[in-house]
Structure 1
Amino acid sequence: MAFSLSTLSPTTSILLSFIGIFAISLAAFWASVEAETVSVNVTAGGINYELEVYDASIAEELKIKSHDFPSDFIFGACTSAAQIEGSANESGRGQSIWDNLLAKSKAPAARKFPIAIDSYKRYKEDVKHVKDLGVKYYRFSISWGRILPMRRMKLAH
């Protein structure tokens, strides 16, 4: 059975886009933890970016252009706290699953995890970059260690 994004509602298209982007991001992040990365230059929105990818063959996939998608396709971007947040020991943040997992890892990229790209301090810059790219939809996450530093919540009775 053939499948076309153009037959989906805008809400479904957005949801599928975010799920796909998250899955790719998570796979790329996990692979980068386990292996060395390769730098690739990509131009988007007239700005040249250097991306670190786990395999040079991904560079070919990055050559896809927006006109390759249906005209009603909605583009967005997303990030996860584990990939970008940084400032792991600031503002009372508690430990996360990622902190525990990567502390045991011998992968070189695991050493970068506590700092990441420090979006915790540079979020205004990050939002500006997303805006400069022309992205209308941006989803991000916040580490549960910041929301529930002690990993539990007291309920009032």
Structure 2
Amino acid sequence: MRIGRSCGKTVLVDVYSGASPEHSIRVYAIIDDKSNSSLATPDLFDRFGIHGSQKQFVLSSYSGSFTVVGIYASGIRICSIDVESIFELPDVIECDSIPSNLPEIPTPDVAYAHPLIRRIAPYLPALDPSGKVELLKGRDLPEVHHVTEEILGGKGERFAQKLPL
């Protein structure tokens, strides 16, 4: 049980390639406003059969900048698990350096532990322990970062944001 933890913007989504939602794959996606591009794991590319020529790009983080190689893919769509929001992603870059921190995923037990945000617990999916973070959604599609609702607490209290995904 992970009660009392602070959670990041990591959400459970369905991802599919082209116009085939019936072949979607359920993964965790990080909504990261510090990244300017969207990244996906090599495993996700493999499961979609995405192959192509590799290109170099610079991956920058707090620990420095690194030149890495990955495939660029287009036509990937991301969908909220309630199927209310569907977005076609700009080019997605294959990258094997996406952080996967399952304890930071918001879950009902975490929300129930905090009176201010307890009311959102029924809307959060339970943690899928076999799930993997396979997508990082950067600022290249601003709409997924829009806050549609917000619960704000006082100093030192938890808060919650509802995003389209």
Global fold match (TM > 0.5): no
Q: What TM bracket, shorter-length normalisation? A: under 0.3
- Scaled by the length of structure 2, the TM-score of the pair is 0.25
In proportion to residue count, which structure has more strand?
A: 2
Rg: which structure is higher?
1
Q: TM-score, normalised by structure 1?
A: 0.26
Higher helix share: 1
